[in-house]
Structure 1
Amino acid sequence: MKHFEVNFDGLVGPTHNYAGLSFGNVASQSNANAVSSPRQAAKQGLAKAKALADMGMTQGVLAPQERPDIQTLRRLGFTGSDATVLESAAKQSKQVFLACCSASSMWTANAATVSPSADTADGRVHFTPANLTNKFHRSLEPEVTGRILKGTFADNKYFVHHTHLPDNEHFGDEGAANHTRLCNEYGHAGIELFVYGRHAFDSSKPAPRRFPARQTLEASKAVARLHGLDDDSVVYIQQNPDVIDQGVFHNDVIAVGNQNVLFFHEQAFHNKTQALDEIKAKFGDHPLHFIEVGTNEVSVQDAVKTYLFNTQIITLPDNSMAIIAPTDCQENSAVSAYLDGLVNKGTPIQQVKYFDVKQSMRNGGGPACLRLRVALTDDELRHVNQNTLLSNTQFERLNTWVDKHYRDQLTEDDLRDPQLLTESRTALDELTQLLKLGSVYPFQQD
């Protein structure tokens, strides 16, 4: 039996915009209200995904959310035609309106937590959509995310879909952005690392003071229970509160893992030595590589600015590893020098490949934010919705779809344009047919 790690990249939606909604995400806030390019953003994401497919990786796509979210605006008391709802919401409650126009679903690292069949009690792949309760604009996503995941992984013989955790801060769950899996081989049982920011029911425990800790220990444990994970294969690690206060809003901004490699900054974790010792003990006798980046090599500020750790580490067909990094890393002298040296340090990481994903970077997400990792056997892969996998033909179709439906530029004022809503719905309806997802959007079900 063969096994793979498949990256499902989020398609950037036709209303991609910069609203600066994410408090604690420095890049998001610093680019608020800038003019965006939905077409360029979508093409940058597709180009990155296609490049990985050309390297021999199995690559898929996940559909975006519908935005503006008219259904939520109606729940909040805005009435009349869709055009009237848009106009009245934009005039009466600008921040609520902008939240309902968020482009954040493009970062599918937040879509869900995924446990492969090798780790779970019932031998199936488990999915739990993230509830994303810490940010209103992201808390609108999990229901549609669940439908998209079910349309992508439909066969219940192989896949299990859980309802997202209760919509409450005590169970704040940010999905795979705070979850890493270490293993010897993708198809072998591994160690699942759940990184949390705070204890929801114990205020005496360490917590950040400036920016919010979005993931709770209680949420992480709930997901592990739902997925049927054995206690001996799970490690719960608290993120360093001080590093959250420096703008590290998710663990994947300060650490990333792949197979037997954990790549992290020295300031990433609270009680670091204890956590690393537990990982070693549970990982067993297989080789394990901890690549720790010192503050004297790369500052936390530079790590956040360039998203050094929001890179993808992938295992290539020849079993060597590569880092997929944004060009922002290449443009920073300290980070570029570190990566140049890393490939000569005798670790499994043998090369670095740079990609321009600046439309995503300006909104607060690097290459790793754009993908959801799903470890699958060859049999499980055959039962994935094949229309969501990125072949040469599907890549061309999706690029043609973007050219047909996406605007080249988008401003904040454009978001209230009812024609944009019509364009977006037309695009998404066509996309669900291209990907054979069924009716996943509210406008398709009305």
Structure 2
Amino acid sequence: MNEKELLISIIRQNVKDSTFRCRPQNHRRPIPHHGRTIIIFSEGHNHLISATLLSSCPLLLPYRYLSYSREHHVAPYFPHSILYQLASDDVLISVGFCFSEGIYVADDLQIFRIVLRTSSAANYIGLSILDENDCHPSQERQMEEPVAGFPFLRIKDMPLFSTQNHTRKVLTCIYNGTKTASAIIWNSLWCLEHALFKKIEDETLVPVFPIGPLQKHYSNFSTNVLSEEQSCIAWLDKQAPSSVVYVSTGSVITMSKDELLEMAWGLANSDQPFLWVVRACLVNGSDGVEQLPREFHEATRSRCRIASWLPQQKVLAHKSIGCFLTHNGWNSTIESIAEGIPMLCWPRVGDQRVNARFVSHVWRVGLQLEDRLLRDEIDRAIRTLFMDEEGIKIQKQAKELKKNVEISLRQGGASSDFLARLVKYIRLQETMIRLSNA
């Protein structure tokens, strides 16, 4: 598209700073003075996904980066006057995350709105079933029953949170914000969830664009390498191919001290080398490393590295990684699939349960640790993935799925084609709005 016709503005929320600032930045080309505008609402670390989307699509340049802040997550608020300042004519499209104020602002101003979904289509289907039914079972025995209308999942696999109120809040923000959009961009792949995408299109009557995995469109790693990271990558370089268990439970999940010890001794007893991300606040807000016993460190000194943070994409792409023990957040799940790494799933809350069930029973690229975290189960599952016939089948399937991802990203592949369709769709909407305002 002619650069005089389109301006991209990313609006990022910065919770740590209570000021609003507008920082125009030139990216490759000068910012145009007139024309339609695309707004991208971004929250927290998800601004990286915005950058990925922009970098993967020639249409989405030039752009400028705007930031607004609030001290607390309270009632949705955004200064509408800022939106009117962004374009000399009309705001064309709002591309937003489902928790974003973009939903409220775009709908209030009757702006064409595209939602960027950063979890799986399976999770969306699960949320739609929650919207229609009460899936908080009253009895424990109901947990193993299949979900009516979605037999891939059991009741225990549904995207539930600790309370009905919490679940309802998530449902309202994510599911309702998605089903009312004009179109949906998905950080997923047609080869993973094509039947579900068809179902969603039939029910919402809007186009879906599964263009993932987004991290593969934008592969520039930071050149500022932390010493801890450098040390761990050097350690990985010395390990045998496909031999290391990489362990990370994300940036939010916490565990009890008992769970930490069960995981530690399960890893130790497996006899596999392992690289473990233990955040400073992992154990209910306390330092997890300090709670590991001396006996554990002595038993695993020759085949264990522990870090407080690591660049996950870089680690998963390393030739020595043979298994990923994960909480199955969607980013972790799709990153592991893209690198062909079998997973050992330990889901805790929300969509993690849905993802783990699909990993273990639909795509069959992993095993799931059920219910309580026990060292013997961890040991047994790791040995299965590395040594048993079942594990060999899982490794083979993981490699096949990686090939499918690579094919999807090539020119003519599904993700590449959907990205091209997205560009055409945005251009078409711009033309239609221009004609309607003529």
Q: What is the TM-score normalised by the length of structure 1?
A: 0.28
The one of the two structures with greater contact order (alpha-carbon pairs below 8 A, sep at least 6) is 1
Which structure has the greater CA radius of gyration?
2
- In terms of fraction of residues, the more helix-rich structure is 2
Q: What is the TM-score normalised by the length of structure 2?
A: 0.29
